[in-house]
Amino acid sequence: MAAELTSARGKFHNDLVGRQTLSVSPDNVASNADSSQRTSVAIALSIARVLRAQVIPKKLTGQRVGKQFEEAVEGFLKSTFPLFQSLRPGEWTIENVGGSRAEYQISKYEPYRHLADLARAIENDRNLASVLGNSYEISPDILVLRHPEPDATINRDRELVDSDSGQYTVIRKVNQRQPIVHAIVSCKWTLRSDRAQNARSEALNVIRNRKGRTPHIAVVTGEPSPSRLASLALGTGDIDTVYHFALPELIEAVDRTQNDEAISMLHTLVAGKRLRDISDLPLDLAI
């Protein structure tokens, strides 16, 4: 029998195919391909055929596809990350907060609760908005949240904390009860230049506006073009890692194109630890 992570990966792909997030048009263009780029069309079609995508008369709208991709990634993380208690014990919640005014959702949680006060101040003083711009806005798709622990759990094996120490840490429920943002996952079904830039800007806002440790910052994408993947994955300092929804299938498809530039770029991203598979994400979140 396949390991649970392998089975969950297969279910994730079946969900994308079953809901027609990943589909093929009658003229053999996959739903995540850029029809104006021959290499993109060839790579995306190869992946779609391996994953047994259906041919449908008309692909879904971009907004619907994006929402369904978020939901599929959310479902995959809910079914996998909590299994790794041996690596990362704790009480976890995975929440899809994508949608309108999502930038205020993160202010419910540590270490971003101060952003709610900032948002209210900006609403009352528009001059602040002109000074700060959008540098405080964080609009995540998926949050991985850790709940603070009661002292009984912390002291389970021996007396570690009492009322005389650890009075300000957010991990103790006696100090505060709001969940803590462990990871922020952005979902991009495809990558155009504006989407890659938006993901980088959001990552920088996550880093700048925290009052505590930086959460994991990840992007999950179905983009087939190595050059567009590189526009987001190359470099360091903002996004931790980019995760592809079907990396082994992508590598096989790109290798078959005999496009030396695309092959070299993709293998650079993988060897350089900037691009990983969706099945790596739950394990990386345990670090």
d(CA 262, CA 138) in angstroms, rounded, equals 33
d(CA 31, CA 50) in angstroms, rounded, equals 14
Nearest Cα residue to 175 out of 156, 148, 157: 148
The residue type of 119 is A
Q: What is the pLDDT of residue 192?
A: 82
Burial-class residue 1 by CB neighbours within 10 Å (0-12, 13-18, 19+).
exposed
**pLDDT tens across the length of the chain (287 residues):** 899 999 999 999 999 999 999 999 999 999 999 999 999 999 999 999 999 999 999 989 999 999 999 999 999 999 999 999 999 999 999 999 986 455 578 889 999 988 877 767 666 666 666 555 555 567 789 999 999 999 999 999 999 999 999 999 999 999 999 999 999 999 999 998 677 778 888 898 889 889 999 999 999 999 999 999 999 999 888 999 999 999 999 999 999 999 999 999 999 999 999 999 999 999 999 99
Dihedral, 137, 118, 71, 283 alpha carbons, nearest 10: 80
d(CA 256, CA 49) in angstroms, rounded, equals 14
- Taking phi first (over 0 means left), then psi (-120 to 50 degrees means alpha), and beta for anything else, what does residue 101 get? left
Measured over the CA atoms of residue 12, residue 15, residue 21 and residue 27, the dihedral's sign is positive
Q: What is the pLDDT of residue 103?
A: 53
Q: What pTM was computed for the model?
A: 0.93
Crossing angle for the helix pair 4-18 and 62-80, nearest 10 degrees? Answer: 160
- The CA R_g of the chain, rounded to the nearest whole Å, is 21
Phi, psi for 259 (deg, rounded to 5)? -90, 100
d(CA 55, CA 48) in angstroms, rounded, equals 10
Peptide bond into 179 cis (omega under 30): no
Q: What is the pLDDT of residue 105?
A: 84
Q: C-alpha 190: how far from its chain's center?
A: 13
The length of the chain in residues reads: 287
d(CA 179, CA 81) in angstroms, rounded, equals 17
d(CA 36, CA 41) in angstroms, rounded, equals 8
Q: Which residues contact 78 (CB under 8 A, 6 or more apart)?
A: 94
If DSSP codes are grouped into helix, strand and coil, which group holds residue 168? coil
